[in-house]
């Protein structure tokens, strides 16, 4: 608890970087970028310059929430026909074709330009210093890092599932120690990444998009089959949008609009608003929430794509009449037998290598922020001499040209990363998020119900055991299949699990390190009357919440 500002994220060193910026007079936007940059250093397998970002920002003066889309687009040369000519029936996952233009640095810059007080030079200093001096790697991060070694080096025995892994990659060693992952407690230094951050601090976003870095990135991606050119890099720009909203009880949930999957959370929450979840038994409540989430995903997986290239019927999807009609599919006594959708499915979102952070400053401004490479180290491609791993977000495109999310030039793909916010009346209530690929809208929904219906504190809401609709085999989406697989975390009452099974849910318990499948979240709650900030951080990750 605190009053003058608070930061919460998945790594304590990053939390401290954000607090330092707040103490120097920065606001929530300034601190958020400082935390994001530090996370690139201390969790480089999950996030960074080579990835994308999204943010929601609450301006305490205007009392408005704005949504920043810092995701990149497919290159101008992207081609379904070319991939099919190479023998691909679905998007490759780790080749250069899977690399979309990284939007993170432009997003950092644009967030500061609209809402911040400081410059990139100011807020990147903690990350630069830490990358140069080094830091000890935590157990959880070291464990994830070790799974990425063969990908980073393009080892001959690495099996990626793609038709061509490409040649060995010496630059992968820039994120390793003598060709291996750092061990728990071992200090790692990232000098080439520090130099890249220093260039951004000196020259701004143009250092990434209009200089030598853009040429190096393009050459490296093309070496592994991709299409990105310096012209694609120079053409990149962020966008500001009106957020999607859902009224639930006496609060309003905010999510970024498509191409992010926040639509799934909005639909699920709107459906759930027709039920008294607080008054239900645990089994009834879990059943109804699972069914709401299935229906939410059915529509989201049909429609989430780039709205600049495909008309998405958001007004119809979010209308009261449509929500009321969809709610009729839910039966208390049994899992749905038919959840309809109109288009072929989007390729399954997967992977949980993302970072989420939340900042609220002493004036009441708030930033809910998420930054990711998608799958651990993304594509695994590291731009030589820069320490920058490149995302593989384009892997989420479809190769069916009739699909709304079909690969096309200059198009943004379906995106899994989503931040969230809550307001009550005309006041900020919470800045929160749950990272973890396909888990994210489900985590938002469960955290919301825990706080609003069950009156849990932020930490209690994050500690509570979770469920997750799981992606089915063969690329199918179990989320909207009748009675589809439901992963259940440790801590649920056995009678609840038995009852869910009786109603037709296919329950699969998960324990141990696999709890990471349920993501990791942070919440900062602000008492509108006193301004007191109450933070929580997920026990499934290394992070913390801290204030001053």
| DSSP line for 220-231 | HHHHTT----HH
Say if residues 110 and 23 touch (Cβ distance below 8 Å).
no
Say if residues 436 and 354 touch (Cβ distance below 8 Å).
yes
Burial per residue of 79-102, b for 16 or more beta-carbon CB atoms within 10 angstroms, e otherwise: ebeebeeeebeebbbbbbbbbbbb
DSSP single-letter state for residue 406: B
Q: Residues, the chain, total?
A: 548
Q: 333: helix, coil or strand?
A: coil
d(CA 89, CA 428): 46
How high is the pLDDT of residue 290? Answer: 96
Torsion angle (degrees, nearest 10) of CA 290, 291, 292, 295 = 120
Q: Which residues lie closer than 8 Å to 279 by C-beta, 6 or more apart?
A: none
**CA-closest candidate to residue 36, choices 2, 73, 72, 70:** 70
Q: 522: helix, coil or strand?
A: strand
d(CA 79, CA 86): 11
Please, which residues bridge with residue 50 across strands?
none
How high is the pLDDT of residue 511? Answer: 81
d(CA 232, CA 235): 5
How high is the pLDDT of residue 231? Answer: 98
Q: Which residues lie closer than 8 Å to 404 by C-beta, 6 or more apart?
A: 302, 303, 305, 310, 312, 343
Q: 3: helix, coil or strand?
A: coil
**CA-closest candidate to residue 63, choices 511, 452, 542, 421:** 421
327 sits in which H/E element = helix 320-327
What is the C-alpha end-to-end distance of the chain, expressed in Å?
Answer: 8
List active site positions: 354
* Phi, psi angles (nearest 5°) of residue 248: -140, 115
Q: Which residues lie closer than 8 Å to 226 by C-beta, 6 or more apart?
A: 75, 95, 96, 97, 98, 99
How high is the pLDDT of residue 339? Answer: 73
Q: Which residues lie closer than 8 Å to 452 by C-beta, 6 or more apart?
A: 248, 249, 251
Please, which residues bridge with residue 526 across strands?
533
How high is the pLDDT of residue 353? Answer: 56
DSSP string, 246-289: EEETTEEEEEPPTTBTHHHHHHHHHHHTTS-GGGS-HHHHHHHH
Question: Degrees (nearest 5) of the Cα angle 233, 409, 240?
Answer: 65
d(CA 14, CA 17): 5
Question: Degrees (nearest 5) of the Cα angle 427, 431, 437?
Answer: 145
Q: Which residues lie closer than 8 Å to 208 by C-beta, 6 or more apart?
A: 49, 102, 105, 106, 200, 214, 233
> β-strand 135-136 against 187-188: which pairing, if any?
antiparallel
Enumerate residue ranges in the chain where pLDDT < 70: 337-338, 340-354, 470-484, 512-515
How high is the pLDDT of residue 352? Answer: 46
Segments making up each domain of the chain, as ranges: 5-55+67-240+357-396
Q: 315: helix, coil or strand?
A: helix
Structure tokens, 223: 């070496």
DSSP single-letter state for residue 337: S
Task: Specify the residue for token string 């072929």.
Answer: 344
């Amino acid at each position: 608890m605190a009053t003058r500002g608070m930061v919460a994220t998945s790594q304590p060193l990053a939390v401290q970087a954000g607090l330092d910026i707040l103490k120097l007079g920065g606001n929530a936007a300034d601190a958020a970028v400082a935390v994001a940059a530090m996370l690139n250093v201390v969790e480089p397998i999950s996030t960074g310059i080579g990835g994308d970002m999204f943010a929601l920002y609450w301006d305490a003066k205007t009392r408005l929430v704005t949504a920043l889309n810092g995701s990149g687009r497919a290159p101008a040369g992207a081609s379904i026909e070319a991939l099919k000519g190479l023998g691909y029936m679905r998007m490759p996952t780790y080749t250069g074709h899977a690399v979309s233009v990284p939007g993170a640095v432009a997003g950092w810059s644009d967030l500061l330009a609209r809402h911040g007080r400081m410059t990139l030079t100011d807020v990147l200093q903690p990350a630069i210093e830490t990358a140069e001096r080094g830091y000890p790697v935590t157990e959880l991060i070291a464990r994830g890092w070790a799974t990425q070694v063969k990908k980073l080096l393009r080892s001959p025995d690495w099996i990626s599932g793609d038709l061509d892994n490409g040649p060995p990659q010496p630059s992968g060693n820039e994120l390793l120690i003598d060709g291996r992952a750092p061990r728990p407690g071992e200090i790692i230094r990232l000098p080439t990444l520090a130099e890249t951050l220093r260039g951004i601090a000196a020259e701004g976003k143009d250092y990434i998009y209009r200089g030598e870095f853009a040429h190096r990135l393009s050459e490296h991606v093309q070496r592994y089959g991709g299409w990105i050119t310096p012209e694609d890099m120079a053409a990149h720009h962020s966008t500001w949008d009106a957020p999607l909203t859902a009224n639930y009880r006496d609060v309003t949930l905010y999510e970024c609009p498509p191409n992010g999957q926040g639509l799934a959370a909005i639909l699920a929450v709107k459906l759930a608003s027709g039920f008294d979840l607080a008054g239900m038994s645990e089994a009834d409540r879990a059943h109804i929430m699972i069914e709401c989430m299935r229906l939410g995903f059915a529509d989201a997986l049909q429609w989430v794509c780039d709205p600049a290239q495909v008309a998405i019927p958001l007004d119809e999807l979010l209308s009261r009449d449509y929500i009321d009609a969809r709610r009729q599919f839910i039966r208390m006594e049994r899992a749905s037998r038919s959840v309809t959708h109109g288009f072929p499915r989007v390729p399954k979102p997967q992977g949980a290598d993302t970072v989420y952070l939340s900042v609220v400053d002493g004036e009441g401004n708030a930033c809910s922020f998420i930054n990711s490479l998608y799958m651990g180290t993304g594509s695994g491609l590291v731009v030589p001499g820069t320490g920058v791993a490149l995302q593989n977000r384009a892997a989420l495109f479809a190769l069916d040209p009739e699909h709304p999310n079909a690969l096309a030039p200059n198009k943004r793909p379906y995106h899994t990363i989503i931040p969230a916010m809550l307001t009550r009346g005309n006041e900020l209530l919470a800045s929160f998020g749950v990272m973890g690929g396909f888990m994210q809208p489900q985590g938002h929904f469960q955290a919301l119900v825990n706080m609003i219906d069950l009156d849990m504190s932020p930490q209690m809401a994050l500690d509570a055991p979770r469920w997750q609709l799981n992606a089915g085999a063969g690329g199918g989406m179990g989320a909207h299949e009748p009675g589809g697989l439901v992963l259940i975390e440790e801590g649920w009452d056995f009678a609840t699990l038995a009852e869910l099974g009786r109603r037709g849910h296919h329950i699969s318990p998960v324990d141990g390190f696999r709890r990471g499948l349920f993501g990791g979240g942070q919440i900062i709650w602000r008492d509108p009357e006193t301004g007191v900030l109450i933070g929580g951080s997920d026990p499934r990750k290394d992070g913390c919440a801290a204030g001053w």
